[in-house]
Structure 1
Amino acid sequence: MTSVDAVLDPAGRAVIPPTVLTGVLDVGRREGSSVIPWFSGTGLEPGLLQAPGVLVSLHQVRTVLRRALPALDRGPLGIEIGERDALLSFGLLGVAMRASGTLGDALALAEELHQTAGSLLDMELEDLGEHTAIRFRERWPDPDLVAFLCEEALTSTLVMIRSMLGEQSWVPSRVALTYPPPVHAAHYRRTFRCPVGFRSATNSLVLPSALLRRRLATAHEPTRRAALEACRTMSAQGEPPSDLVASIEMMMAGHLRRPLSMRDVAERLHVTERTLHRRLSESGVRFRDIANRVRERRATLLLARSSVPISAVAAEVGFSDAREFRRAYLRWTGRTPSRARQDGGAAAGPVRTAG
């Protein structure tokens, strides 16, 4: 049994979209692997990773990957995941990139906002004169994961560039990697179709600087602005929750009709209820407040849909009595469900009480 203390760091913050984890999970399921043990004690539930707004921490990602990769010991897994459709890897950032004026504009957006797409490596552009290097830096040193992380990052970037240029045959000038050649090194050359160097000083994909001036056929400024605004909103949402709090929110959101108790959550985290209470106290929050916040968010979203009766909203967030839901919603937001519906479901503010 894995303790929550072993994988959820009090200082860990849930800031990363689980893009890479969902790719690994898809491969595991497709191959019939037992994926549940990969997530044991992390506070993450495989079935909820693709829910809107889910974020995970570096600690959680690292824990799952260190369990999943040995179970999927099958060659260039990172390349396979990176070769997915570009928008699966880049999401809204990919939309903004494709709608940019030039390839250089698009890569500048990626440099600024790559973390909003779930990137597990940091990215930066370096001007080398006639060439430009897209460099990838590890956020944590881990020899067991570096090849996988670089495979995914460089391959998804290659796929995105080809998508933006509309040229599936485009190849970089060269690729450099800091680690020794893996046993499947030949696959790298088939994927990148350019010189690939190992034991290099940096992890990078190099392309001609002149290519950055290439106009994109998919350029569309209104689309770029809208997608860019959404990305920047995601990256400026204030202090992110701890990975423990984010994990509890994810669990609660997945079981709203029959809300989980603190004991239920503690069992899923493989700790005692007393330990969970202590860890939440260290984070400065109470379990009841987290549960109410999740219920309020979902209720407010449903109230914005005039076709959903208030009694159905109440049931959806775990209330058998609509009057009890009305009192709770008034306590949480300072307004009744009917008033929230008249306001179009716009949030009035955070949950105000723990009741």
Structure 2
Amino acid sequence: MAIPSLDPRLDEAVIPPTVLAGVVEIGQRQGLPVGSWCDGTGVSPAQLVASDTVKVSFRQAATILRRAVRAMPGRPLGMQVGGRDVLLTFGMLGTAMQSCATVADALDIGIELHQASGSLLDIHGEVVGTDLVMQVHERAPEPELVAFLCEEAFCSTLVLMRSVAGTDLSPNYVELAYPAPGYAREYRHFFRCPVYTDAAVNRMVFDSSVLATTFPTHNELTRSVAIDACRRLLDLDGPRPDVTVAIEALLSQNLRRPMTMADAAWQLHVSERTLRRQLADAGEQFSIVRDRVRERRATFLLLESTLTVDAIAREVGFSDAREFRRAYIRWTGYPPTHRRRGR
């Protein structure tokens, strides 16, 4: 069942699929039919794991995660995803945070840019007396996912902090606003502190003195470059409908062979009729999106490469260079040779 659009942000494709990639990889290792988890969402497992261009909406992510959690019941899936290597879990945001001067600086960056890591929760941090309180909030009610989401958020945060502040670092206590799962003993083993379930909020509490901990990996240049990359990843051009982003990513990965709407629908695990309707709802047509992707790539190659026009035609899916020239004139108003001379 799809998530009701209680908030238009739930349908905006702004989330890097880092968390989803971790879940899909675990499912693949278990030999599970991970393709079915993506049915009807407009993305494929291959895109989630290998693509550096696709982003997903909260609605898409929650649908996939719900199916994954049902397929792997009774296991600390969120802990497994959140407990991975920092760069796998946080990506470029992990590099930015590890390059900070202190834990305080890193947490400020992490909270500001947490969505760059594929986070599906909203994160808030504050100092209360002598406590540093990190609290997470659901973007939409997801009873089936709350345990997974909290485990992933808290475990990944602690892994990152331990990577720079030392493996002995542990919270004072953790509170979780859901009943204790069957594997709750693993919480105590991982966090090495009291863990209270059925609490009023989801939060992890440290002694505030940890904020002054300095990072041996501090590097201002790396920090600046990584922060800039995170901000670009969060799409300064603004969010777009998730189906548009998914189709553009799919077409970009398959430019050399002509892809029909039927091909795209099959790759994205939806019917052609459903895909056509989703594109129409987003104010798009498949042929227009395809032309946009082709024109963008062709123009890049004309300006930045030494490939011949014939070779560029093949690179963007045309077997006939004359057909490509006619298409490029239709897209831009002038022939490809004119663009090349203009560079």
Common fold by TM > 0.5: yes
Aligned to 2:136: 136
Q: 1:92 to 1:303 in 2, by over 3 A?
A: farther
Deviation at residue 133 of structure 1 after TM alignment: 0.8
Counterparts of residues 278-289 of structure 1 (less than 5 Å): 278-289=277-288
Determine the structure 1 residue equivalent to 2:206: 207
Unaligned runs of 5+ in 2: none
- Give the whole-Å Cα distance in 1 for the aligned partners of 2:276 and 2:32: 34
Q: Is the 8 Å Cα contact of residues 257 and 318 (structure 1) preserved in structure 2?
A: yes
1:240 is matched with 239
Report the CA distance between 1:249 and its aligned residue.
1.9
SS at match of 1:168: coil
Give the TM-score, by structure 2 length.
0.90
How far apart in 2 are the matches of 1:157 and 1:326?
A: 52
In 1, Cα distance between equivalents of 2:339 and 2:47:
27
In the TM superposition, residue 277 of structure 1 has moved relative to its aligned partner by 3.6
- Give CA deviations for 1:195-220 in whole Å, capped at 9, x if unaligned: 11111122111112121122211111
Question: SS state of the match for residue 113, structure 2?
Answer: helix
Q: Which amino acid aligns with 1:297?
A: R
**Mapping of residues 167-316 of structure 1, within 5 Å:** 167-266=166-265, 268-273=268-273, 276-303=275-302, 306=305, 308-316=307-315
What are structure 1's unaligned runs of at least 5 residues?
345-355
Q: CA deviation at 1:272?
A: 4.7
1:90-169 matched pairs, under 5 angstroms = 90-165=90-165, 167-169=166-168
AA aligned to 2:53 is: G
Q: 1:288 to 1:150 in 2, by over 3 A?
A: same
For 1:238 and 1:305, locate their aligned partners in 2 and report how far apart those are by CA, in whole Å. Answer: 23
Q: For this pair of structures, how many residues does the alignment match?
A: 338
Contact 2:53 2:249 (8 Å CA) reproduced: no
Q: Is the counterpart of residue 81 in structure 1 residue 99 in structure 2? A: no
Q: Secondary structure at the match of 2:91?
A: helix
Cα distance in structure 2, aligned partners of 1:122 and 1:293: 34
Q: Residues 287 and 152 (structure 1 numbering): CA distance in 2 closer, same or farther, change over 3 Å?
A: same
Identity, % of aligned positions: 46
Give the CA deviation at 1:341.
5.8
**Structure 1 residues 53 and 334, CA, compared in 2 at 3 Å: closer, same or farther?**
farther
Deviation at 1:101, TM superposition (A): 1.5
Distance 1:96 1:269, change over 3 A: same
Q: CA RMSD in A?
A: 2.5
Q: Distance in 2 between matches of 1:155 and 1:131?
A: 19
Moved more, 20-29 or 204-213: 204-213
Q: Which runs of 4+ in 1 moved over 6 A?
A: 7-10
Distance in structure 2 (CA, Å) of the matches to 1:96 and 1:86: 11
Deviation string for 1:150-185 (max 9, x for gaps)? 1111111011111122x1232122111111110000
Letter in 2 for 1:78: G
Shift of 1:143: 1.2
Aligned equivalents of 1:230, 1:22: Cα separation in 2: 20
SS in 2 for 1:41: coil
Q: With structure 1 as the length reference, what TM-score do the two structures score?
A: 0.87
Query: For 1:129 and 1:333, how far apart are their aligned partners in 2?
Result: 61
SS at match of 1:42: coil
Q: Deviations over 1:52-107 (max 9, x none)?
A: 22100111111111111121225101101111111111111111111111110110
CA deviations on 1:101-120 (whole Å, 9 max, x unpaired) are 11101100111110111001
